[in-house]
Every structure is written in C-alpha cells, then in structure tokens.
C-alpha cells in the first residue's frame, strides 16, 4: 500500500500546529538546564498521545551533566517558568535541571529500535527587538532576557512533537520501537553525555539527530553531515593573593598575570599535522583596581580536534600550559569541565538508505546529498551516535536546509517555517519504510 498520499494529508493537517509550537517555544525561550516550561509542555503532549515516558533523573545521569547553573539560578528559573505557564503537574520530574525526556512508542511487533534526537535549549543571547526582525513584528520574540532561540532548537522541538503525532496516527503500520529523545543543554555541548550515560540509547539500532539551517539552502537535505569536531570546554579559575600594588607588592600573588600568560601560551601551542585542531580563549576576567594585585581570574577555554585523539592532544597540551602559568606566578588553579563532544562520522549504509528513501518519497526536497562539507563546529549528538555505533547500530545526522534571516547565534536569527513540515514528513517516511533497510542492505 502506498501510504505517501495519506501521509501528505496528515502532515498538512498539523502544519499550523507546528508553527504554533515553534513560536510558543521561541517566545518563552529557555537556555540549557532551564527548559522547565518547554519540558512540561512536551511531556504533556507526549503523554496525551499515549507514549511511554521516562523523564528527569530516569534519563539524565546527574554527575555526568556539564556546565550546570547554580542551585539558586535553577530555582529562580523554575519559578519563572511557573509564572510563564509551565504545567506544574510535570515539574517535579524536571526540578533541579533534569530537563530531559525520552518518549517510546512500542508497536508490539518485532522490529528494530529507531531513535530520533531533538534539542530544546535556547542560547544565552538577547534577541533583537526591532522592526526588521519578524519574531518582534509578529509578537513572538523572546520575553526572557539573555535567552533566545537563535539556533533553531525551537523548530527542532516542534518537529519532534509533530513527528510524535504522525507516528501515533500510523502506529498500526509501524514495527519495532521508536524513541523520541528531547535533549536539554545542547548549546555548549553540555547535555547529551548525561543522557547517554543514563543508557537511553543502549537498545537503539538506528539513530538520527537533526538540525535545520547551517547554511544549507531551502529544499536541500544533507543525509550524513560531515564529521563534527571533538571538543572540550573548560573554565579555568586562578586564585592568588591580593595585596597593595604600591605598598606591599611582594606579598601579592597575581592571578591576572597567570591567566594572561596562559592565554598567550595556549594560542602559541603547535597545532596537529594529522587533522584540524583548534584552541580558543574566549573570556578572561580578572582584577578589581589599578592599585590591587589581582587574587582571582577566570578564563574560558575550548579545544577542538578533527578526531577525538587530536582533541585530546590539544587538551593535554593546554593543561600543561595552564598548570605552568600557575607555577610561574605561584598561584593555585582549578579546572571545571563545562562541556564536551566527540567526533563522529555517519554510518554509510544508513546514509545510503536515507538518501534512497528521501529521493523516492519526499519530492519537497529538491536536492538530496549524502554528505556535507567538513563541519567546523561541534555537536554533542555525537555522544549518541558513537554509543549506538559502538553497540553495532547505525547512526547519522540530518540537516534540513532553510532560508535564514541571519546566521546562527545572531540576535536576528529566524528561519522559513516551511521546513518544519518537510522535516516531519521526512522522518515519518524513514520510520514507515525502515523495514526495507534489511532488504536493501542485507543486514
């Protein structure tokens, strides 16, 4: 039976709802580990649809979270979420920053487990509030200071909910299990590792993470995005001894100088000959007055590598430089891990299958390519991908092209919302036709 005409009609029926979800999440933007309102709305919709839910500490390993805000900040943001319409019956699952959800549709029929990951968090960024910016003129720009969906995660969450509706509608035609993973704190690569260590993809045979935009034109799909760079993100805190710079300079221990020397040393380190390597000092904060020897300095650093091994090489060198600068100035130092991601390449057979199915069944995508250019950024969906592949499964990362009003992480970021329905149709099509994978690739 050709289900595509029925699927087209079903997608058309939820197009308005996809936009409504996206704009609601955009207006009430919540950054990483603060997705309290978003998570309650997602959980309520999935529960209403009849999905089996695991939430909060069931799907997030507490000690594996990275870049976690303070307890006070988490409490304040939870109260803010309540005032902005969070569904309080669901909040106990997410309190304390455990804002992850895994929804499972078990068809009761033999078959593999397929998982999709969408992310929910906004950026720590103020949104443009001018008449050149559509979210402002159409009254859905962010109402939360220093929180903005400037990377499309509001759209990703809407796609996940739309997919949930469609899959439930076609449940009788599906086999195996489908997992929908709603991940917090992707920005800064902080959230995926904690979900992987909680075991949420240990039973997964096929895995897809998605993104919209990324410079891909509207109507184009990249089935297997090029390898992401492995990364490690750290905060370095130097602690010295304050003293009067004129009266008692010999009693001081200068944390600012330690950080400055480390910053210069980090940027001067040799790169790696076997692939792309990066290091950046993005923030350096120190000092209180011109006549005071600084006793405290904060430095925010990231390393990246084309492979996990290259990133580890750069990171190990960075640790030596950071320690050496502390020794030079006789200060103490502390390193806090704030985020991390791995390098990962998509599974070739899975990419081939996606390519074939989309070419055959999704005419809305006028251009389908198997792999994009080498990524210069990082993505913590790579933790999911690598765990699935390590267990013998197949994984890929899909990018749906769309027109953008400004680049990602920009205060005027916006996208063509037509991409939402295209993405839902593509993912639903892959789910419906998944039984064909074994036929095509003899696995």
- For the chain, the structural domain boundaries read 3-228+342-441, 230-340
Residue 4 has a pLDDT of 75
Residue 227 has a pLDDT of 74
Q: Which residues sit opposite 335 in a β-bridge?
A: 236
> Is residue 27 marked as binding?
no
Contacts of residue 78, Cβ cutoff 8 Å, sequence gap at least 6: 36, 86, 91, 95
d(Cα 346, Cα 353) in Å, to the nearest integer? Answer: 12
pTM over 0.85: yes
CB 67: neighbour CB atoms within 10 A? 19
Q: Is 128 exposed, middle or buried (CB count within 10 Å of its CB: 0-12, 13-18, 19+)?
A: buried
Residue 225 has a pLDDT of 80
Q: Do 240 and 296 touch, CB atoms closer than 8 A? A: yes
Q: In b/e form, how buried is each residue of 150-175, taking b as 16+ CB within 10 angstroms?
A: bbbbbbbbbbbbbbbbbbbbebeebb
d(Cα 96, Cα 194) in Å, to the nearest integer? Answer: 14
Contacts of residue 393, Cβ cutoff 8 Å, sequence gap at least 6: 204, 205, 206, 207, 347
Residue 194 has a pLDDT of 98
Looking at CATH, the fold of the domain delimited by 3-228+342-441 is given as Aminopeptidase (3.40.630)
| Torsion (CA) 144, 146, 151, 157 in degrees, nearest 10 | -30
Q: In b/e form, how buried is each residue of 19-40, taking b as 16+ CB within 10 angstroms?
A: bebbbbbbbbbbbbbbbbbbbb
- Please report, for the chain, how many H helices and E strands are present, in that order: 13, 14
Same fold: 3-228+342-441 with 230-340: no
> Which of 408, 401, 415, 404 shows the shortest CA–CA distance to 140?
415
CB 300: neighbour CB atoms within 10 A? 16
Q: Quick one: which H or E segment has residue 210?
A: strand 206-212
In angstroms, the Cα distances linking 96 to 34, 41, 84, 170 are 9, 17, 18, 36
Looking at CATH, the fold of the domain delimited by 230-340 is given as Alpha-Beta Plaits (3.30.70)
Q: Quick one: which H or E segment has residue 426?
A: helix 418-432
- Per the listing, tokens 């308005």 go with 16
Residues of the chain with pLDDT under 70: 1-2, 373-376, 441-443
* Cα R_g (the chain), whole angstroms: 23
Q: Which residues sit opposite 279 in a β-bridge?
A: 303
d(Cα 261, Cα 254) in Å, to the nearest integer? Answer: 11
d(Cα 282, Cα 199) in Å, to the nearest integer? Answer: 33
Q: Do 270 and 284 touch, CB atoms closer than 8 A? A: no
Residue 376 has a pLDDT of 65
> Is residue 187 marked as binding?
yes
> Is residue 272 marked as binding?
no
| Strand 206-212 versus strand 113-119 pairing type | parallel
> What is the 8-class DSSP label of residue 228?
B
Contacts of residue 83, Cβ cutoff 8 Å, sequence gap at least 6: none
> Is residue 151 marked as binding?
yes
Q: Quick one: which H or E segment has residue 220?
A: strand 220-224
> Is residue 153 marked as binding?
yes
Q: Is 334 exposed, middle or buried (CB count within 10 Å of its CB: 0-12, 13-18, 19+)?
A: exposed
206-236 per-position pLDDT tens digit: 999 999 999 999 999 999 887 789 999 999 9
Residue 97 has a pLDDT of 97
314-324 per-position pLDDT tens digit: 999 999 999 99
CA angle 303-305-307, nearest 5°?
145
Tokens of 73: 């900040």
403-425 per-position pLDDT tens digit: 999 999 999 999 999 999 999 99
> What is the 8-class DSSP label of residue 404?
B
> Which of 300, 291, 228 shows the shortest CA–CA distance to 259?
300
């Amino acid at each position: 039976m050709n289900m595509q005409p029925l699927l087209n009609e079903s997608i058309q029926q939820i197009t308005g709802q996809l936009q409504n979800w996206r704009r609601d999440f955009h207006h009430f933007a919540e950054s990483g580990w603060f997705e309290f309102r978003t998570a309650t709305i997602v959980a309520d919709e999935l529960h209403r649809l009849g999905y089996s839910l695991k939430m909060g500490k069931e799907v997030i390993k507490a000690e594996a979270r990275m870049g976690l805000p303070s307890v006070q900040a988490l409490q304040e943001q939870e109260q803010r979420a309540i005032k902005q319409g969070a569904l309080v019956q669901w909040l106990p699952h997410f309190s304390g920053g455990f804002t992850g959800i895994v929804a499972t549709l078990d068809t009761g029929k033999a078959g593999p487990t397929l998982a999709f990951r969408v992310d929910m968090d906004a950026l720590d960024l103020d949104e443009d509030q001018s008449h050149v910016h559509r979210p402002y003129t159409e009254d859905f720009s962010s109402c939360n200071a220093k929180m903005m969906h400037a990377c499309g995660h509001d759209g990703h969450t809407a796609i996940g909910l739309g997919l949930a509706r469609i899959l439930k509608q076609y449940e009788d035609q599906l086999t195996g299990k489908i997992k929908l993973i709603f991940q917090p704190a992707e920005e800064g690569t902080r959230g995926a590792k904690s979900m992987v260590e909680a075991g949420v993809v240990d039973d997964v045979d096929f895995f897809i993470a998605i993104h919209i935009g990324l410079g891909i034109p509207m109507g184009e799909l990249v089935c297997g995005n090029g390898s992401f760079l492995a990364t490690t993100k750290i905060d370095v805190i130097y602690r010295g001894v304050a003293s009067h710079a004129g009266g008692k300079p010999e009693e001081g221990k200068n944390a600012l100088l330690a950080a400055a020397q480390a910053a210069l040393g980090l940027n001067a380190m040799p790169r790696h000959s076997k692939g792309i390597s990066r290091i950046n000092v993005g923030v350096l904060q120190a000092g209180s007055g011109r006549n005071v020897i600084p006793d405290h300095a904060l430095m925010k650093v990231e390393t990246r590598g084309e492979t996990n091994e290259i990133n580890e090489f750069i990171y190990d060198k960075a640790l030596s430089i950071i320690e050496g600068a502390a020794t030079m100035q006789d200060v103490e130092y502390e390193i806090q891990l704030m985020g991390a991601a791995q390098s990962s390449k998509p599974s070739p057979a899975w990419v081939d299958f996606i390519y074939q199915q989309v070419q055959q069944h999704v005419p809305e995508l006028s251009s389908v390519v198997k792999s994009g250019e080498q990524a210069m950024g990082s993505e913590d969906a790579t933790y999911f991908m690598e765990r699935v592949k390590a267990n013998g499964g197949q994984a890929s990362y899909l990018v749906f092209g769309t027109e953008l009003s400004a680049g990602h992480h920009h205060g005027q970021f916006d996208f063509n919302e037509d991409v939402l329905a295209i993405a839902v149709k593509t993912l639903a099509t892959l789910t419906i036709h998944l039984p064909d994978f074994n036929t095509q690739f003899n696995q």
